[in-house]
Amino acid sequence: MSEPLRKAAEPPREAAEPSARPWDRWPMTVATAAGLAVAAVLLLWIGRADVLGAPTFAGRLTGLLFVLFGVLAAAGTVASFDYWDRRRFRYSGPIVLAGVLSAFITTSLLCLLWLPRTEFTPHSFVFIPLWFWSLWALWLLGRHRAWEGIRHPKGFTAGLTVTALATAVNLGYTTVYQPHFAPVALAVDTAFGTPVADPVKPVIHLPLTITVRNPGTVPAYALETRYRVLGRTSDFHSDLRSESPEEWQSDLSTTTEREGYADRAEFYSVNSGSFIPAGETLQPKEKRVKETVVQISRDADFNEIVALAEVSLLRHDRGRLGSGFSTAQASWAQAEGEKDLVACGQCQYFAHYGTLSPATYVAAVTRHQRYLTTWIELDDTDQESLRFRISQVSRSSQKDLPVGGEDLAKHNIVTASTRESAIPFAALLAAESGSESGSGATG
């Protein structure tokens, strides 16, 4: 065969044939393989955590896609040794390209999650440099036309694009849409039962039922629950009283209601307590009912009895609580040398404290650890107040815990309250009168 015919019969050589000198190709081999290996470890670590522990299907799907990208990066690590050497395997270039694209897509998503707060975590010192590395690797593979050898390059590109879009959509849904636009569903109700007079003691027993329902589709943590029963008192006037503008302003500065036959009302605590242990989970469609009996002196100077309840919650798709949060800590039972959870001087408090993390591990690697403290504080007037604090400072650190904290809305902590349930105190006295008349008739 003549020389021209022999050259024409030879298959075309690849545009980016590797150098025959090992010292020329090894730097590219090491740089590509090392970057892909780091990407594979990072993506498989993040994806595995969400596949096993994300609270929603969308979160687990995102974790599964991260695992898929991690597998592609691992395959690219192995293929890079062949691609920069003898290229015995036809598809080693496309596999390396797919692995680098996987690293670029996922690190881009992690950087987008990191940018709003720019909190440097141990993971950020991996995925941020990895993003710059992926840009360099894409440029290098583009120069060497690594996609050559793919029979259907458009299908290859479309597959990676669809996978990237699915990851971005799921990540956006779980970390942006749900926390900020999905409504929080919770129903809290209080209801008084029929009052019963004690036949021996000068006490009236008033049943109270508190009902909490989770009508949504996502489990929720009950951070703190509190019910209060208040006795309302005010001086009565037989004539309709008129108020000056100053008195009217004074009334409306403390309450939205004003009465013509009574002075401004005052409230006194009769009973209070919690009805769901802190940190417990309310499953979807679950209903919790607490029944208690309030004891009120029949000689009390009240006009009516008022009940209200509130629940502070955190949905599982919006955050995770550490296991230690459920343990109650009281200021009067504090160990010697232990740091105060609440900087309130000489006040007494009953607190819960624990870690607060994002719902998905994908989001957690881009943020610092937070610590949540909820406490019920008793002031000098024996009035209870429920308070919250979210901070980056842990109790075990050397820093002082802040008095205030971060915005609760940013962490999607929501408080749901009941409308007040009220019963006239006269109805309690009527129950006592009915009991006495019934006893007399029986005798």
What is the DSSP code string of 246-274?
HHHHHHHHH-S---SSB---EEEEEEEE-
Ramachandran region, residue 21 (left: φ > 0; alpha: ψ -120 to 50; beta: rest): beta
Chain-centroid distance of CA 166 in Å reads 23
pLDDT digit string (tens) for the chain, length 443 residues: 455 545 444 444 444 455 444 445 778 888 889 999 999 999 999 999 988 888 777 778 888 889 988 999 999 999 898 888 877 887 888 888 889 988 998 999 899 889 888 889 999 999 999 999 999 998 888 787 777 666 666 666 666 667 667 666 666 666 665 555 556 667 888 999 999 988 888 899 999 999 998 887 788 898 888 898 988 887 775 555 566 666 656 666 655 566 666 666 778 888 888 888 998 998 888 899 999 999 999 888 888 899 988 888 888 888 888 888 888 888 888 777 777 788 776 778 888 899 998 888 888 899 889 999 888 887 655 667 778 888 888 888 777 777 777 777 777 787 777 777 888 888 888 866 655 544 443 33
Which phi and psi angles does 390 have, rounded to 5°? Answer: -120, 130
Judge whether 413 and 314 are in contact, CB under 8 Å: yes
- According to DSSP, residue 83 is labeled H
Among residues 344, 268, 362, 356, which one has the least CA distance to residue 312? Answer: 356
Model pLDDT, residue 1: 47
Cα–Cα distance, 76 to 434 (Å, whole number): 85
Cα–Cα distance, 174 to 133 (Å, whole number): 28
Q: In angstroms, what CA-CA distances link 394 with 139, 151, 242, 357, 369? A: 44, 56, 55, 13, 9
Model pLDDT, residue 217: 78
Angle made by CA atoms 186, 189, 194, in degrees to the nearest 5: 165
